[in-house]
Structure 1
Amino acid sequence: MKVDRRDDEFRAYVQDRRPALVRTATLLAAGDGHLAEDLVQIALTKLYVAWPRVRPMTRDAYLHRTLVHAVIDESRRRKRRPESLTDALPEHPAPAGPELADSRIRDALAALPPRMRAAVVLVHWMDLDAETAAAALGCRAGTVKSQASRGVAKLRELLEPHFLPAGGPR
């Protein structure tokens, strides 16, 4: 019954980590809750397959790295296969998370390239240090620092006009 024990361990891990993972995925997906759910499912599926090989101490890092890769893969896939628009509205609007209630913030995050957005989210939202974020992104800590710095500068540039007083800076 080794498989049952493995499934129980995985189930407990997912129940503990899933809410935070969905919040992170929502930020990485620039507020698209449906895409975030898909990304979390992809990452958890890959973790389940690799579960016996992934050490308990590195499971979170493995999951973050898989999630970032899923975001990047999805952005590439969407470029090749754009969504088709319809004139029929859904019955109920999708609820916005409290962290991304302002559509300007979602739009600004969406304007960042996926890896830059991932660096900003991992460093500034999840409060990971550069080395841990670098392990999740599969790059060097210096790259994470520069991507996060450029990302924050771009966000400021995009958001500044919305938050300045009506008369401009004084």
Structure 2
Amino acid sequence: MVVITEDKAKAAITQEAVAKQEKEASAQAAVAQEIKDDAQKDLDEALPALEVAVQCLKSLKLSHIQEVKALANPPGGVKLTLEAICIMFEVKPTMKNDPERPGKKITDYWESAKSQVLSDPKGLLEKLFAFDKDNIPEKVITNIEPYIGREDFDPAVIKKASVACE
């Protein structure tokens, strides 16, 4: 009889431990589900924009890139697009003197784009088509996020500045 009582006590302790672990596992599962749901929401928001970008990319021609390269002082939409391309390809901006604040520096992606991105139009086209959109480094995602959702970074707005940069 003593053995049965001891076994029941051990079983109760084990059952209590299992219940506690079950509760912890359920809490972790809920957190994981929340993360999954957030990721799916982000993906659902991003996929339409990605599809638009892919369609625009398919219409891009070598002559469009050469046209952009020839611009001495491009419109804001062109500069903005090339700034985003530089960020995606991890091309560092050129630092130059700020004309409005003497002694201060500003980032200039246009200079970097001309010398590193637009210098080989055919190579740029190949890089754009081969870009691994499924493995973008976290740092790049963080740096490009401020551009997403900007009204002036919409393909319809950019197209007014340059068909190539749409």
**TM range, normalised to the smaller chain?**
under 0.3
What TM-score do you get using the length of structure 2 for normalisation? Answer: 0.24
The higher radius of gyration belongs to 2
What TM-score do you get using the length of structure 1 for normalisation? Answer: 0.23
Q: Which has the higher contact order (CA 8 A, sep 6+)?
A: 2
